[in-house]
A and B are shown apart, each in its own frame.
Chain A
Amino acid sequence: MYQHPGNRPIFLSLLKFRFPINAWLSAGHRLSGIALFISLLGYLALLNLILFNDMVTLSGIRDHWILLCLHSAFWISISFHWLTGLRHLLAEHFTQPKLYQLINSKLVSQTLLVLWLLLTLLILQEVWLS
C-alpha cells in the first residue's frame, strides 16, 4: 500500500479553499456513510432492547422522538449516500469522455442535490406527519 513519506495528516484550514460542488458531494458521501453507520448502531441497540428487555416494546416506543430522529437520520443519510454512490458508479462505468463529463457536470450534481432535498422532505413527512 502506498504510504506518504511525510508526517500526515497536515491540518489545512478548509474554509480557505473553494471546492467545486463535486468535492462537496464526495465529502458528503463519506459523511453520510459515517452517519449511516452510527444510525445502524442505533437500530442495533434498539433491536437488542426490544428483544432482550421486557420493559421496552415496539408499540411503546413507536412514536418516541428518539426513534423518529433515528428514522429521519437513517433515511436522509441513505438517500444522499445512495444518490452520490450511484453517481460514483456511473462515473466509473461510463469512461467515454462525453458521458464522463456529463456525469461529473455541475448540472448533474445540482440535480442530485435537488432530488435529495425533495426526498428529504418526503422522508420527514413520512416519518413525522404520517
Chain B
Amino acid sequence: MTFQSLSGKQAHIWQRLSALYLLIYLPYLAWITLSFPQQADLSSLTANLLSPYYLLPSLIAIVLVLIHSWVGLRDILIDYTPRARSLLWLWGLRWLLIFISINVVMLLINLFLQP
C-alpha cells in the first residue's frame, strides 16, 4: 500500500453507498432489537438472527459496515497521524479489518452449526 494507491473518489462513493444503506438498515436494527424478547436464550437469539428477514439485510450491513469503517478510519488516520507513520497505521488498520472479517465469518459458521 502506498499513498498513491489510496483513492479519494472511489472511497467517497463507497462511503456514500454504505451510508445510504445503513441509514435505512439501522432503524430496522433498532426496531428488531426493541421487539426482541429480553429474556431470550442463545438458541432463540440464533433462530432470530438466522431468519431470512434478518439474515440477508444483516450480512449486507456487516460487509458495508466494514467498508464504511475502512474509509472513515483511513481518512482519520491520514488526517491526524504523523506523515512518516501514516502507512504503518494504515497497514495496522487493514490487518485489523481483515482479522475482524475472518472472525465474523467464523462466528457466522458457528452460529449456523448451532444445534
Residues of chain A at the chain B interface (Cβ within 8 Å): 1, 3-4, 7-9, 30, 33-34, 37, 40-41, 44, 47-48, 50-52, 57-59, 62, 75, 78, 82, 85-86, 88-89, 92, 126, 130
Contacts and interface: CB of A to CB of B under 8 A. Distances in A.
A44 B104 contact: yes
A89 B16 contact: yes
A100 B20 CA distance: 19
A34 B42 contact: no
Contacts of B67: none
A82 B26 contact: yes
Nearest to A6: B83
Nearest to B8: A1
Contacts of B55: none
A40 B100 CA distance: 10
Given A30-B72, A44-B103, A51-B110, A1 B23 contact: no
Interface residues of B, number: 35
Contacts of A41: 100
B16 A92 contact: yes
Contacts of A47: 107
Contact of A89 (B7, B19, B45, B81): B19
Contacts of B69: 33, 37, 40
B10 to A, nearest CB: 12
A51 B23 contact: no
Contacts of A59: 39, 41
B63 interface: no
B82 A9 contact: yes
Given A1-B4, A1-B6, A48 B76 contact: no
Given A1-B3, A8-B82, A82-B23, A48 B103 contact: yes
A67 to B, nearest CB: 12
B80 interface: yes
B73 interface: yes
